[in-house]
Structure 1
Amino acid sequence: MRWNVYLKKSALFLVRYCLPGIVATASVAPLAVTAQTMLRVNQTEHPLDAYAVGALRVALEYIEGDYQLEITQDPITQTRAIERLEADQMDVMWLASNREVEEQLLPIRFPLLKGLLGYRIFIINPASQSRFNRVETFADLQQMSFGQGAGWPDIAILESNNLEVITTSKYDNLFYMVEGGRFDAFPRGVLEPWTELAARPDLPLAVEENLVLVYTLPFYLFVSPDKPELAQALHAALDQALAEGRFNEYFYGTNMIDDALTRSGLKDRQPFPLQNPSLSEQTPLEREGYWLKLESL
Structure 2
Amino acid sequence: MKLGCILFALSFSLVSAAFAKPLRIPDSSSADKLPITLIKEFVARSDQFDSVTFIYGSSGDVAFSKTVADLENRALDVLWTATTTDYENNMQAIYIPIYRGLLGMRIPIVEQSNLNLFRDVKQFDALKKFIPCQGKLWADTKVLEANQILVAKSVKYPNLFDMLEGERCEYFPRAVFEPWAEIERMSHFNLAVEPNILLRYTMPMFFFVHKKDAALARHMNSVFGDMVEDGTFNRLFFADGQVKSALAKSKLGQRRLFELDNPYLSKSVQNIPKHYWFDLLKEQ
* TM-score under structure 2 length normalisation: 0.88
1:71 to 40, 54, 63: 54
Q: Quick one: structure 1 residues 66 and 223, their matched pair in 2 at CA, closer, same or farther if it must change by over 3 Å?
A: closer
Q: Quick one: structure 1 residues 145 and 46, their matched pair in 2 at CA, closer, same or farther if it must change by over 3 Å?
A: farther
1:233 aligns with 2:219: yes
Quote the offset at 1:44 in angstroms: 4.3
Q: 2:22 aligns to what?
A: 38
Q: Measure, in 2, the Cα distance between the counterparts of 1:268 and 1:58.
A: 34
Q: 1:53 aligns to what?
A: 36
5+ long unaligned stretches in structure 2: none
Q: 1:86 aligns to what?
A: 72
Residues 251-295 of structure 1, C-alpha deviations (whole Å, 9 max, x = no match): 000101100111111121111111112221211545042101110
Is 2:198–2:257's contact at 8 Å kept on the other side of the alignment? yes
Is 1:45–1:75's contact at 8 Å kept on the other side of the alignment? no
Is 2:116–2:195's contact at 8 Å kept on the other side of the alignment? no
Q: 1:243 aligns to what?
A: 229
Equivalent residue letter for 1:80? K
5+ long unaligned stretches in structure 1: 1-24
Is 2:109–2:191's contact at 8 Å kept on the other side of the alignment? yes
Q: Measure, in 2, the Cα distance between the counterparts of 1:52 and 1:291.
A: 16
Residues 70-112 of structure 1, C-alpha deviations (whole Å, 9 max, x = no match): 2223422211111111111111111111111000001110111
Secondary structure at 2:276's aligned position in 1?
coil
Quote the offset at 1:68 in angstroms: 2.5
Equivalent residue letter for 1:68? S
* TM-score under structure 1 length normalisation: 0.85
Secondary structure at 2:15's aligned position in 1?
coil
Q: Measure, in 2, the Cα distance between the counterparts of 1:179 and 1:107.
A: 37
Equivalent residue letter for 2:20? Q
Secondary structure at 2:100's aligned position in 1?
coil
**Structure 1 range deviating more: 85-94 or 35-44:** 35-44
Q: Quick one: structure 1 residues 62 and 289, their matched pair in 2 at CA, closer, same or farther if it must change by over 3 Å?
A: farther
Q: Measure, in 2, the Cα distance between the counterparts of 1:205 and 1:223.
A: 38
Q: Name segments (4+ residues, structure 1) moved above 6 Å.
A: none
Equivalent residue letter for 1:71? F
The alignment yields a C-alpha RMSD, in angstroms, of 2.1
Rg larger for: 1
1:89-108 mapped onto 2 (5 Å cutoff): 89-108=75-94
Q: 1:14 aligns to what?
A: none
1:175 to 161, 171, 178: 161
Secondary structure at 2:138's aligned position in 1?
coil
Quote the offset at 1:156 in angstroms: 0.8
Quote the offset at 1:64 in angstroms: 4.2
Q: Quick one: structure 1 residues 158 and 293, their matched pair in 2 at CA, closer, same or farther if it must change by over 3 Å?
A: same
1:62 aligns with 2:49: no
Q: Measure, in 2, the Cα distance between the counterparts of 1:57 and 1:264.
A: 28
